[in-house]
């Protein structure tokens, strides 16, 4: 492993420990329990050694003393187990709360990163970082803390006991031990790369599954099942290969270190036997020493045994911290007003924008909208209609130019105060797992039931809701799965009608609604639009004939503007679009 990667891994471990730092009280408790657990665990071999010495004397076996020593041994083992349980309880607490804090920060981060990050990354991969990778950190942290505490204390205490019994045999153990550490370190470097690849492929697989489960109807409609299965098999096979390689590499650690530890036990046995013959050790003491030699090498075995979890935790942590290290969206200006009420006048001057810097989309865009005007935006797919809405709402930041709202630059306002002035209905409706009342009142949580019912009535969905078993308290599934597409869209329309914002944005707001209901909704919108500046994005040009101004966009620029009659008289691009929809 290069020095750069070693430094990165050390930095990752340091950040994980930083998240665990607030729970230092539990960590101290775990350390105290570890000391007591190990001390009692090491006391038992001493009692057993004394018991052996009381049993090997020919014709002089002290049964009473042996019984007392065995009772003390049993008490030590029981107390040691209790303190081990308490240590695990504390480390569990630290691990689970650390993971909770990590997930909290990730969720908070997702609310501050630019929308471009969410749009530019597979949602399944982001979910994998929040769920799978943080779980890996929790498992690795739990294993790491437990083995670290008990291992270090076990090594130090065992070494102290061995030095007290016989310093020469203790030196033999210490000399051979570094070989075990060298083997473990070599295998760790070998497997770390594969665990990173495994974690990355897991995220790719999660993204693939999330994408195609969400589009199951389209997959089945086009008979694409075999292609989806083949794509899944390809990613799944890559995950199997890198998982197999990583597990194989990491599984070499435990048997390798156990082989070295076997050499330690053999060396202790031979050296101890010679000491017994020379009379410097008793039989009971050599039995105690062999037990200590095994106890001394055991932590090394345990640490190498959890290398897969530790490596997986590091790989997952790298992905989690990569998300947490993403740049936040441009901060709101200081001392900006928290509340901003506008009259609906908008001026767009010399705006340039591109999603990818090398591919300009909107160039030198200008627009002036008076309060209360209804502005329709039409044009071919990809011309920049929805992009314009994204810029007005400041979902994306412009490259240059200015957008003024009632004479105030929108970049002098907080995003929250700006967006409160808009009511937005999109073609893709979004609902969440809650009651119908909570979904309609999403933008106004303190709305009364009467206000919610009034908004539902204006959206012509009240009769449907009242026929449900629990009415407005009916719980809908995630994304409104138990409602039709049209019903979901009507719910979103009711949500906006409840808020009654000073400006409206309707992006294909009635695309999933039947013609009869659409006419009624258009009347409701017309009533709602009175005195409100409204932007209407539509492909069905019949729905925007009454607009005060129609902006015809092509290749990111306004090529025509005027009302319906004016544009039809010009016989330009708008006239071609309109006639293409209604020609016989």
Look at residue 505 and give its three-state secondary structure.
strand
Q: Are residues 300 and 437 in the same domain?
A: no
| Segment among 151-160, 297-306, 486-495 with least mean pLDDT | 297-306
Digit-coded pLDDT (tens) for 157-193? 888 877 877 787 778 777 777 676 677 667 666 676 7
Over pLDDT 90: what percentage of the chain?
Answer: 4
Q: Identify which of 270-274, 309-313, 404-408 has the greatest average pLDDT.
A: 404-408
Q: What domain range includes position 533?
A: 346-582
Instruction: State the average pLDDT over residues 379-407.
Output: 85
The reply to whether 332 falls in a domain is no
Are 415 and 296 part of one and the same domain?
no
The three-point CA angle 508-509-513 to 5° equals 105
**Looking at the structure, do residues 254 and 354 belong to the same domain, yes or no?**
no
Domains in the chain, number: 2
User: Percent of the chain scored above 70 by pLDDT?
Assistant: 86
Q: 464 and 320 share a domain?
A: no
359 pLDDT higher than 60: yes
Q: Is residue 455 part of a domain?
A: yes
Report residue 90 as tokens.
Answer: 């504390």
Specify whether 263 is located in the same domain as 363. Answer: no
Strand partners, 367: 348
Query: Residue 188: which CATH number?
Result: 1.20.1560.10
- What are the pLDDT digits (tens) for 9-55? 678 888 888 888 898 888 889 888 888 888 888 787 777 777 777 66
Look at residue 498 and tell me if it is in a domain.
yes
Establish if 340 belongs to a structural domain: no
Task: Identify the weakest region by mean pLDDT among 202-216, 355-369, 371-385, 414-428.
Answer: 202-216
Give the CB-side neighbour count of residue 130, counting CA atoms within 13 A: 15
Q: Could you tell me if residue 566 is inside a domain?
A: yes
Q: Report pLDDT digits (tens) over 520-546.
A: 677 777 777 777 888 888 766 766 777
DSSP label at residue 130: I
Asked whether the predicted pLDDT for residue 87 surpasses 70, the reply is yes
- What is the Cα–Cα distance from 353 to 391, expressed in whole angstroms? 9
Instruction: Check whether residue 319 and residue 361 sit in a common domain.
Output: no
Q: Quickly list DSSP for 272-284.
A: HHHHHHHTSS-HH
3-state secondary structure of 502: coil
pLDDT in tens, 236-267: 888 888 888 877 776 776 677 677 767 777 77
Cα 356 to Cα 196, 362, 383, 396: the distances in Å are: 29, 11, 15, 12
Query: Are residues 357 and 310 part of one domain?
Result: no
Does residue 117 lie within any of the structural domains?
yes
d(CA 141, CA 345): 55
Q: How far apart are CA 545 and CA 563, in angstroms?
A: 8
CATH of the domain at 551: 3.40.50.300
Q: Give me the long-range contacts of 235-240 (CB less than 8 A, separation at least 24).
A: 235/201, 235/204, 235/205, 235/208, 236/205, 238/201, 239/198, 239/201, 239/202, 239/205
58 burial level (CB within 10 Å; 0-12, 13-18, 19+): exposed
Q: What is the pLDDT of residue 124?
A: 77
- For the chain, report the end-to-end CA distance as a whole number of angstroms: 71
Residues 253 and 377 in one domain: no
Q: Is the distance from CB of 366 to CB of 348 less than 8 angstroms?
A: yes
233 pLDDT above the threshold of 80: yes
Give the chain's mean pLDDT.
Answer: 80
Mark whether 253 and 366 lie in a shared domain. no
- The C-alpha angle 465, 536, 503, rounded to 5 degrees, equals 80
Both 230 and 292 in a single domain? Answer: yes
Residues with Cβ within 8 Å of residue 171, at least 6 apart in sequence: none
Give the model's pLDDT for residue 105. Answer: 92
> What's the rounded mean pLDDT across residues 334-359?
83
**Shared domain check, 504 and 358:** yes
144 φ/ψ angles, rounded to the nearest 5 degrees? -65, -45
Contact between 133 and 199 under an 8 Å Cβ cutoff? The reply is: yes
Question: Does position 82 have pLDDT exceeding 90, yes or no?
Answer: yes
Cα dist. 245→149, 193, 448 in Å? 30, 10, 60
320, 353: one domain = no
Residues β-bridged to residue 505? 424, 535
Q: Would you list the DSSP string of 327-382?
A: PPPPPPPTT--S-----S-EEEEEEEE-SBTTB--EEEEEEEE-TT-EEEEE-STT
Of 163-177, 381-395, 410-424, least confident by mean pLDDT is: 163-177
Q: Is residue 473 part of a domain?
A: yes
Stated as kind and residue range, the H or E segment containing 534 is: strand 533-537
Q: So what's the pLDDT on residue 302?
A: 65
Q: Mean per-residue pLDDT for 123-133?
A: 83
466: Cβ contacts below 8 Å, ≥ 6 apart: none
Three-class SS state of 532: coil
As a whole number, mean pLDDT of residues 94-115 equals 89
pLDDT of residue 220: 74
Say if 341 falls within a structural domain. Answer: no
């Amino acid at each position: 492993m290069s020095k750069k990667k070693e430094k990165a891994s050390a930095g990752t471990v340091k950040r994980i420990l930083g998240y665990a730092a607030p729970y230092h009280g539990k960590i101290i408790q775990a350390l105290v329990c570890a000391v007591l657990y190990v001390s009692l665990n090491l006391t038992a071999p001493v009692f057993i050694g004394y018991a052996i010495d009381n049993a090997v004397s020919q014709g002089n076996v002290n049964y009473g003393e042996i019984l007392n020593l065995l009772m003390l041994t049993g008490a030590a083992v029981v107390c040691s187990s209790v303190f081990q349980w308490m240590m695990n309880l504390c480390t569990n607490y630290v691990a689970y709360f650390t993971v909770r804090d990590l997930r909290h920060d990730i969720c908070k981060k997702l609310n501050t990163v630019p929308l471009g990050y969410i749009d530019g990354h597979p949602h399944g991969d982001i979910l994998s970082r929040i769920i799978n990778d943080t779980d890996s950190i929790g498992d690795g942290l739990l294993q790491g803390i437990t083995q670290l505490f008990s291992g270090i204390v076990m090594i130090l205490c065992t070494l102290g006991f061995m030095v007290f019994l016989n310093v020469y045999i203790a030196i033999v153990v210490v000399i051979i031990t570094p070989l075990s550490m060298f083997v473990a370190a070599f295998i760790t470097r070998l497997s770390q790369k594969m665990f990173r690849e495994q974690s990355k492929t897991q995220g790719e697989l999660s993204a693939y599954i999330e994408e195609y489960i969400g589009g199951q109807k389209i997959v089945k409609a086009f008979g694409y099942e075999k292609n989806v299965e083949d794509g899944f098999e390809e990613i799944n096979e890559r995950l199997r290969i890198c998982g197999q390689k990583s597990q194989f590499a990491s599984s070499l650690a435990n048997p390798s270190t156990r082989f070295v530890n076997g050499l330690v036990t053999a060396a202790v046995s031979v050296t101890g036997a010679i000491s017994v013959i020379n009379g410097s050790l008793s039989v009971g003491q050599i039995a105690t020493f062999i037990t200590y030699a095994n106890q001394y090498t055991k932590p090394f075995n345990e640490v190498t045994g959890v290398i897969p979890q530790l490596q997986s935790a590091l790989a997952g942590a790298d992905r989690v911290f990569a998300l947490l290290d993403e740049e936040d969206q441009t901060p709101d200006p200081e001392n900006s007003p928290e509340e901003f009420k506008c009259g609906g006048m908008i001026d767009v001057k010399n705006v340039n924008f591109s999603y990818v810097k090398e591919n300009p989309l909107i160039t030198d865009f200008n627009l002036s909208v008076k309060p209360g005007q209804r502005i329709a935006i039409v044009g071919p797919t990809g011309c920049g209609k929805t992009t314009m809405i994204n810029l007005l709402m400041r979902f994306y930041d412009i490259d240059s130019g200015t957008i003024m709202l009632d004479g105030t630059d929108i970049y002098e306002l907080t995003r929250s105060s700006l967006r409160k002035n808009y009511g937005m209905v999109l073609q893709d409706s979004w609902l969440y797992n809650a009651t119908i009342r909570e979904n309609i009142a999403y933008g106004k949580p303190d709305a009364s039931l009467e206000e919610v019912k009034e908004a539902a009535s204006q959206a012509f969905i009240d009769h449907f809701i009242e026929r449900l078993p629990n009415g407005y308290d009916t719980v809908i599934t995630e994304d409104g799965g138990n409602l039709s597409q049209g019903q979901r869209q009507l719910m979103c329309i009711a949500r906006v009608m409840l808020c009654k914002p000073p400006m409206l944005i309707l992006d294909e707001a009635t695309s999933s609604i039947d013609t009869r209901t659409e006419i009624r909704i258009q009347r409701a919108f017309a009533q709602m639009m009175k005195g409100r500046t409204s932007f209407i994005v539509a492909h069905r040009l019949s729905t925007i004939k009454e607009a005060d101004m129609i902006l015809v966009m092509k290749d990111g620029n306004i090529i025509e503007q005027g009302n319906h009659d004016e544009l039809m008289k010009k016989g330009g691009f708008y006239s071609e679009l309109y006639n293409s929809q209604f020609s016989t």
